[in-house]
Structure 1
Amino acid sequence: MVSFKVGGQPLGIVTVFIAILTSVGGMIFGYDTGQISDMLLMKDFLERFADTQDCSSGTCELAFSKVREGLIVSLLSIGTLAGAILGAPIADYLGRRWAMSIECIVTTIGFIVQITTFDTWQQIAVGRMIAGLGVGALSAAVPMYMSECVVAAFRGTAVACYQLMVTFGILCAYMFCYGTRGLESDASWRIIVGLGIALTGVLGTGVWFLPESPRWLMKNNKVDEAKHALERIRGATTDFDRTVVEHDFLEIAKRIKMEQQTESSFWRSWYECFAGHKGTSKLVYRTFLGMVMQSLQQLTGANYFFYYGATIFQSVGIEDSFITQIILGAVNFFCTFFGLYIMENFGRRQPLMWGALWQSAWLIVFASAAVARPPDQNEGIGELMIVSACLFIASYASTWGPGCWIVTGETFPMRTRARQAAIATASNWIWNFLISFFSPFITDDIGFAYGYVFAGCNLFAAVFVFFFLYESAGLSLEGVDEMYSTKGLKAWQSEKWVPEGYEHRRDVMESSKMDTFQNEEAGKRFEDDDEERISQSSIHNADAAHKA
């Protein structure tokens, strides 16, 4: 069994496989998000599903009405909203692996429904909604599964891999669309949709080569399986590694036992997310924190570019908007690597605050340039808008893209984690739907001034993070729960908070903890042996005196 160390903690190669393979769920999400922007401009797709003639340029061209375009794009989000909510009870009842496998099947059905249509746009929209059911459920299950499996020192990187694969999926969609756009037949868009089936197949089957979540197994009283899964994930090969795993195992068992003593019924557990529970501090606070964070990720404005980027840059006079989309997708993907480093080394709060401020600044430049001069008549303005969009996406990919999913994966307590993660993710998809459906109508009325709306949302996001988001980097999931349970602790003070008995968060790493643990055990054994020797000596002396 291959193993190495991260932050002094044993990290098995299985952990790396978990991060990579389950992140394919993010790639499915990104691929489904990115493809529609370019498909709306494909000739055969327009001929089959468009409903209006655009004669504004002097020559009549096929085009979608705002309603039809909005529905085709946004019904994916309706499906993902429902999927995110249903994903929680499925993942809790069947287990994380079964849930992800079933969700891949649902997504595949949605792709097949789209591929098999000929001239019915409603079938495209319904197929996207069905695919959204699976994608939405995966968006809740995958980060949760990752957070429950990996060690604290690697958790940020692992969960951020999900967002990395989202960006890679978007980039792949753009590149594949560029490759098929020249086809005159329906293959131009059927190939694009069909390639998604390969991704669901990889995740749906590959997940069975991974262990189940140890925390889910423990919660369902499968103690031996939970311990074996934890050892496999950590790659425990030495006695010290096994001691570390044993310590983690006992900590998880203790926390889950406490939660099971106050276990609630199915419906009450949902109710408690909004009403609170006597045994868990700031439960309602964390529910709304997750909802607002996921909502703000959408309100940064990133999906405005991902869904309608091709249309946006076509309207500013860019000759090949497909190329522009690939540029944005490449910036999004490669900057996410930088995001992995940032979120692991600078925590959660600081990157999210500064990222929001940076994004707001470039959205103001984007909107101001277009409002000042018509971009379709000024080549320099169009180029400035592309640069502004790229710099905005660079920040989003480095901060809010991965950061929001990391926060969602590590903020909630075990007993309500699946439900709170589902509620938070559902908030993301609600705003995803609102933005994707109403953007064509809003831009038709106010044009590129729409960027000011998102700029304001980013400013609000920076303020919100400062006052309400607690710093969870470097803590175990149980440690995060303890932090939120600390009375009187404010969000802006949380970066300096450490569990009782430690001076710094790096001391919380399991190696340091286990060094202390082993030293205490060694000292205890010495004291016990010493006491036994003293006791035996006393008995011997007393016996000798009696004989004398």
Structure 2
Amino acid sequence: MGIFNNKQPLGATTVYVSILSSVGGMIFGYDTGQISDMVLMRDFKYRFADIRTNCINGHCEEYEFSNVREGLIVSLLSIGTLSGALLGAPVADYLGRRMAMSLEAALFTVGLIVQIATQFSWEQFAVGRLIAGLGIGALSAVIPVYVSECVVPNFRGSAVACYQLCITFGILLAYCFCYGTRPLDSDASWRIIVGLGIALALILGVGVWFLPESPRWLMKNDKVEQAKRSLQRVRGAKSDFDKAVVEHDFLEIAAKVKLEQQTESSFWKSWVECFIGQPGKKKLVYRTALGVFLQTFNQLTGANYFFYYGATIFQSVGIEDSYITQIVLGAVNFFCTLWGLWILERFGRRKPMIFGGIWQFGDQLDPRPTPSRPEGNPASGKVMILSACLFIASFASTYGPGTWIVTGETFPLSHRARQASIATASNWVWNFLIGFFSPFITSAISFRYGYVFSGCNLCLAAVMYFFLYETAGLSLEAVDEMYSTKGLKPWRSSQWVPSGFINRRDVMEASKIETFHIEHMDGNDERRFSTADGDQSSQTPSESNKKMDV
């Protein structure tokens, strides 16, 4: 698969890990997509809106939300996700990746129940979204880490990008379901939509127990034999040859974990080290800053801005139904993310993300009509539709999924969960800021708001070129080694390979164990391995076990 193809064992369990874990992304996308349509439903506005006109005996002709109340209902989810993202790291490190995901899915369910149970209290509904956000934020921190720690390098990009794919699919599902319930002139129009989210939480919360625990987490917690079985299960190793490949990877992980444990810091100190660094750990602060930048600009690209102005785009060509508007844009977002899985495996991480930033910069500076400059006639509106779709297509196939891939594979094991939490927390901060303040900003500066996002996209492309290292085709241990290589520049990182290899096609390849056979000598198995650089080693099972018990 892709330019960094290899022949490692890839079992069905690996696919299950990536798909089922990414239901957490679908939960986030579904909850995000539903609220934009629910605030338009008449019964929802009747119960919670604060602007009422022509009222007689408690019944009014019009119900509308003020900017403040609508902003709080929509954006309090992001406050919850911010807190959840920061809590996700210690929970995942202490309880394990699977237990953390299961509990966070349960917390999300509690938030939905609080929303469904409200009658006329918008505060209760907003608090329910806050609680649901805690679960979503924690899931966003642990899922990319869990998937990255489980799957092989040649499939890791696609596996982690499934999280972003499921976010877009969740948004699309929410749009379609809202379109289906909008004819209901009762509270069922929005209660059904909220309640359907419980099904997704149940799938993740229960289904994750049918998946193996992260072998790297098991190894870090001195569960050596469980870690080995987990790795074999994830890789689908059945033949002796496959098991030999897995054993090689297992020993590499074990050695790295042992090294990390020798320099491991206390709980609070490890958080501080994400910002001030750790002796002997190269580019630790650098990687924290890079993760924060990536997740921040996931919001500052302006992708959500296009969705915000979707109704304006389609109204200009005579389509007044904003529900259809969102379904069309949501479909473009989903299918282009699906295409992005192939792009980010075929061309690596750096090139697509640099290209995406440049394309999005040019699209928002284009003198043609855009969502920030509606012309009000059908001809211009058609061009605006094309412009919006091209922008979303670029983001969805490059930077959107690329953000989550790099977040999952950049950080060292010792600080991985904490740095991922810090990075994703920055995403939710800007998610809240943009969601809450956009109506006020657009009313003040109108179309010029689009220029702000355009400049952010140009900045994005520059930072990706000068600071992002190419991680495609490398094991997580090799990624850590690459970042620790003195004098290596990011724009030359695509050519970097671990010592003993010629190019990345050889890295983690099954052929690096060129000969493998089991000989029965005096009742003991003797295993011989020939590595890519020609060195051979021989060990009995007892010796192998000693090496693994690190």
> What's the TM-score once normalised by structure 1's chain length?
0.90
Per-residue CA shift, 1:499-528, capped at 9, x if unaligned? 1121111110331322278335998589xx
- The one-letter code sitting in structure 2 at the alignment partner of 1:355 is G
Question: Relative to structure 1, is the Cα distance of residues 279 and 117 closer, same or farther in structure 2, using a 3 angstrom cutoff?
Answer: same
The worse-fitting range, judged by mean Cα deviation, of 344-353 and 44-53 is: 44-53
User: Could you say which residue in structure 1 is the equivalent of 2:530?
Assistant: 519
Is contact 1:367-1:450 (8 Å) kept?
no
Contact kept in structure 2, 1:367 and 1:449, CA below 8 Å: no
Q: 1:312 to 1:78 in 2, by over 3 A?
A: farther
AA of the residue aligned to 1:45 = F
Is the CA contact (8 Å cut-off) linking 1:73 and 1:307 kept in structure 2? no
Residue 402 of structure 1 aligns with an amino acid whose one-letter code is P
Structure 2 CA distance, aligned partners of 1:368 and 1:460?
23
Instruction: Find the residue that maps to 1:119 and give its secondary structure.
Output: coil
- Tell me the CA shift for residue 69 of structure 1: 1.1
Cα distance change, pair 316–110 in 1 and its aligned pair in 2 (3 A) = farther
**1:538 alignment counterpart:** none
What CA distance in whole angstroms lies between the structure 2 residues aligned with 1:368 and 1:449?
A: 13
1: distance between equivalents of 2:318 and 2:111? 35
Question: Hey, what does 2:454 align to over in structure 1?
Answer: 455
Aligned pairs, how many?
A: 517
Distance 1:367 1:121, change over 3 A: farther
- Report SS of the residue matched to 2:530: helix
| Equivalent residue, structure 2, for 1:393 | 392
Deviations 1:204-228 (A, max 9, x none): 0000000100000000000000001
Identify which range, 296-305 or 467-476, moves more after superposition.
296-305
Task: Output one character per residue of 1:181-208: Cα deviation in whole Å (capped at 9) or x when no partner.
Answer: 1111111111111100000000000000
Report the CA distance between 1:41 and its aligned residue. Answer: 1.0
Aligned to 1:533: none
**Aligned amino acid, residue 284 of structure 2:** L
Partner residue, 1:482: 481
After alignment, is 379-388 or 120-129 more displaced?
379-388
Is 2:47 the counterpart of 1:36?
no
1:448-488: per-residue Cα shift (whole Å, max 9, x none)? Answer: 33222111111110001001100000000000000000001
Which residue of 1 is the match for residue 223 of structure 2?
A: 222
- Residue 253 of structure 2 is matched in structure 1 by 252
Moved over 6 A (4+): none
Looking at structure 1, the residues matched to 377 and 98 of structure 2 have their Cα atoms a distance apart, in angstroms, of 53
- Equivalences for 1:309-348 in 2 at 5 Å? 309-310=310-311, 318-348=319-349
TM-aligned CA distance change 1:323 to 1:366, over 3 Å = farther
Q: Deviations over 1:311-362 (max 9, x none)?
A: 7756996411111110000001111111000000100000001011111222
Assess if the C-alpha contact under 8 Å between 1:470 and 1:492 holds in 2.
yes
Distance 1:379 1:247 in 2: 62
SS at match of 1:343: helix
Query: The residue matched to 2:379 in structure 1 has which SS?
Result: helix
Quick one: structure 1 residues 314 and 233, their matched pair in 2 at CA, closer, same or farther if it must change by over 3 Å?
same
1:91 maps to amino acid: A
Tell me if structure 1 keeps the 8 A contact 2:27–2:136.
Answer: yes
1-side partners of 2:195 and 2:366: how far apart? 38
CA 1:251–1:168 in 2, change beyond 3 Å: closer, same or farther?
A: same
Distance 1:44 1:120 in 2: 13
Report the Cα offset of residue 396 of structure 1: 0.9
In structure 1, the residue matched to 2:114 is 113
Q: 1:382 deviation in Å?
A: 2.9
Map 1:102-141; keep pairs closer than 5 Å: 102-141=103-142
Q: Which residue of 1 aligns with 2:102?
A: 101
Query: Matched residue of 2:282: which SS?
Result: coil
| Counterparts of 2:537 and 2:258, CA distance in 1 | 29
Aligned positions of 1:375-454 closer than 5 A: 375=375, 377-454=376-453
Retained in 1: the 8 A contact 2:317–2:382? Answer: no
1:498, distance to aligned residue in structure 2 (A): 1.1
User: Going by fraction, where is helix more abundant, 1 or 2?
Assistant: 1
Query: Which moves more between the two structures, 72-81 or 517-526?
Result: 517-526
The equivalent of 1:464 in structure 2 is 463
- The Cα offsets for residues 405-436 of structure 1, whole Å up to 9 and x where unpaired, read as 00000000001000000000001111111000
For residue 507 of structure 1, give the secondary structure of its aligned residue in structure 2. Answer: coil
What CA distance in whole angstroms lies between the structure 2 residues aligned with 1:523 and 1:498? 18
Residues in 1 aligned to 2:328 and 2:458: alpha-carbon distance in whole angstroms: 26
What root-mean-square deviation, in Å, do the aligned CA atoms of Structure 1 and Structure 2 show? 2.2
Stretch deviating more after TM superposition (515-524 or 183-192):
515-524
8 Å CA contact 1:367–1:448 kept in 2: the answer is no
Q: 2 CA distance for matches of 1:266 and 1:366?
A: 52
Amino acid of the structure 1 residue aligned with 2:529: Q
Contact 1:366–1:388 (8 Å) recurs in 2 = no
Q: Report the counterpart of residue 535 of structure 1 in structure 2.
A: none
Task: Return closer, same or farther for 1:245/1:177 CA change in 2, 3 Å cut-off.
Answer: same
Gaps of 5+ in 1: 527-548
**Whose radius of gyration is greater, 1 or 2?**
1
